[in-house]
Homo-oligomer: A and B are copies of this chain.
Amino acid sequence: MTKELNVCLTPVLIPLYNVEDHVVVIIDIFRATSSICYGIENGAEAIIPVSEVEECEAYREQGLDYLLAAERNGEVVAGFDFGNSPFSYTKQKVAGKTVVLTTTNGTQALHLSRKAKKIAIGSFLNLTALCNWLKTQDENILLVCAGWKNNFNLEDTLFAGAVVEQLKTTGLKLDDAAIAANDIYQAGKNDINQYLKKTSHGERLKKLGIEKDIEFCLQIDITTAIPILDGDKLVKLV
- Whether a CB of chain B sits under 8 angstroms from the CB of A211 is no
**Residue interface mask A160-201, B partner, CB < 8 A = 1:** 000000000000000111011001101110000000001111
Cβ–Cβ contact A183 & B179, under 8 A? no
- Whether a CB of chain B sits under 8 angstroms from the CB of A90 is no
Q: How large is the interface on A (under 10, 10 to 19, 20 to 34, 35 or more residues)?
A: 20 to 34
**Residue interface mask A1-23, B partner, CB < 8 A = 1:** 00000000110110010000000
- Whether a CB of chain B sits under 8 angstroms from the CB of A157 is yes
A121 to chain B, nearest CB (A): 22
A175 to chain B, nearest CB (A): 6
Whole-angstrom CA separation of A184 from B16 in the bound complex: 23
Closest B residue to A185 by CB, please name it: B183
A residues touching B (Cβ–Cβ < 8 Å)?
9-10, 12-13, 16, 148-154, 157, 175-177, 179-180, 183-184, 186-188, 198-201
